[in-house]
Structure 1
Amino acid sequence: MKNDKKKQLKNQYRVNEQIHIREVRVVSDNGSEVMPTRQALNMAREQGVDLVEISPNAQPPVCRLIDYSKFLYQQKKHQKEMKQKQVKVEVKEIRFGPQTDEHDYQFKLKHAKEFLTDGNKVRAYVFFRGRSILFKEQGEVLLLRFANDLEELGKVEQMPKLEGKKMFIYIAPKKSGVAKKSQQKRDREEAEAAEKAAAKAQKEAEAQAHGTLADVKGGEALKKLADSNKE
């Protein structure tokens, strides 16, 4: 398989004598120049490199004077990096009952947070068994609470929707660093910051007061010493 991919990449470009067009545009760091293909091949030989056709559909085709082996290596490296950057998003399922208890709810909420943090989507649903379909409003409230508890990590793609005996809600992960903080959390953080600033200001004021007092006491001591010397 690897050899097939390597062969496919190698055959993607025409090199040197494989280029049969009459003239080509040779590009370099200094610009570009249209010249006969034979002249471009001679330039490549003189520089000890290859004439590689990188844009065959251009008029005339665009070529570069480069080391073809190094060029293939760079192309392969680039494709590998692009593949690594492609994030595979999975859809993780969370199942609830219409009367899920608080402990079970918190347990599943924790897992959902982990899924969203890892960049996966969450499909949560309430399964109504038998006559429990009568509690579909209760199931909808549960799913909306679930979405609200995940608002810092995920955004709702589809509101609760009943499909047969299941009511689904879809939540997608927010982009890293973009998750919005709840108003309650922002207020708490602002209050904590204000308390820290006040405590710091108080310490600085106390330190300054102690320093001033020390200066006064020192001055008084010096004055008494001077007076005693006069006597």
Structure 2
Amino acid sequence: MINEQIRDREIRLIGENGEQLGIMSAREAMKRAQEAELDLVKIAPTAKPPVCKIIDYGKYRYEMARKEKEAKKKQKIIEVKEVRLSPNIDSNDLSTKINAARKFIQKGNKVKITLRFRGREMAHMNASRHILDDFAKELADIAVVEKPSKVEGRSIVMFLTEKRS
């Protein structure tokens, strides 16, 4: 809220140089802001009484946008990479998939391991869980199981994430 939008009976005012000007009515604070040819901006609406500051509103908005942009730069986006397996996978193929998952985890991504079943393979779902367990054991040095294996339709899904040190 800025200038005339502030309708509180009394507010705590901070001057343009950051000094405390005390508690006063909103009208009086508005007069002081006009004398300084600046805006009256409510910066802490939940405080008792609300805190307002005499500043250049355009400059304030610019500073806030810049801080937000800077914070966004420092964020790390974690992607979920998927590795698909089948129940009759060969050991060499499995080791290739494990190496791919290892690279994803080292880059800081989560890995979703999907064991897909087709046709008659559906009858032997529980017998194939050991493949996911072996997968997790192979990556135990750098990864932890975030979500344990769970049946979802025609597949069993498990999530791995990077180990926190």
The bucket for the TM-score relative to the shorter chain is 0.7 to 0.9
| TM-aligned CA deviation for residue 85 of structure 1 | 4.3
Aligned-pair Cα RMSD in Å: 2.8
Q: Answer yes or no: is 1:77 the counterpart of 2:66.
A: yes
| TM-aligned CA deviation for residue 130 of structure 1 | 3.1
Query: Match of 2:13, as an amino acid?
Result: V
Cα separation, 2, equivalents of 1:69 and 1:100: 62
Instruction: Count the aligned residue pairs.
Output: 163
Change (3 A) 1:45 1:144: same
Q: Which residue is 2:105 aligned to?
A: 116
Runs of 5+ consecutive residues of structure 2 not aligned to the other structure: none
Cα separation, 2, equivalents of 1:44 and 1:60: 18
Out of 115, 120, 123, the residue aligned to residue 126 of structure 1 is 115
| TM-aligned CA deviation for residue 57 of structure 1 | 4.3
| TM-aligned CA deviation for residue 96 of structure 1 | 1.0
Q: Is the 8 A contact 1:96 1:125 kept in 2?
A: yes
Q: Secondary structure at the match of 1:51?
A: strand
Out of 150, 154, 159, the residue aligned to residue 148 of structure 2 is 159
Cα separation, 1, equivalents of 2:63 and 2:163: 33
Q: Answer yes or no: is 1:26 the counterpart of 2:6.
A: no
Runs of 5+ consecutive residues of structure 1 not aligned to the other structure: 1-12, 179-231
Cα separation, 1, equivalents of 2:150 and 2:8: 61
| TM-aligned CA deviation for residue 35 of structure 1 | 1.3
Q: Identify which of structures 1 and 2 has the higher relative contact order when contacts are C-alpha pairs closer than 8 Å and 6+ apart.
A: 2
Change (3 A) 1:17 1:163: closer
Could you list the per-position Cα deviations for residues 35-79 of structure 1 after superposition, in whole angstroms to 9, with x for gaps in the alignment?
123332343344443211123344433101222122101111222
1 or 2, which has the higher helix percentage? Answer: 1
Query: Match of 1:125, as an amino acid?
Result: T
| TM-aligned CA deviation for residue 139 of structure 1 | 2.5
TM-score normalised by structure 1 residue count: 0.58
Change (3 A) 1:24 1:164: closer
TM-score normalised by structure 2 residue count: 0.77
Out of 53, 57, 60, the residue aligned to residue 64 of structure 1 is 53
Q: Is the 8 A contact 1:116 1:172 kept in 2?
A: yes
Q: Answer yes or no: is 1:105 the counterpart of 2:94.
A: yes
Change (3 A) 1:152 1:71: farther
The share of aligned pairs that are identical, in percent, is 37
Larger Rg: 1
Could you list the per-position Cα deviations for residues 76-118 of structure 1 after superposition, in whole angstroms to 9, with x for gaps in the alignment?
1222234444444433221112222233222222221232234
Q: Is the 8 A contact 1:51 1:64 kept in 2?
A: yes
Query: Match of 1:40, as an amino acid?
Result: A
1 or 2, which has the higher strand percentage? Answer: 2
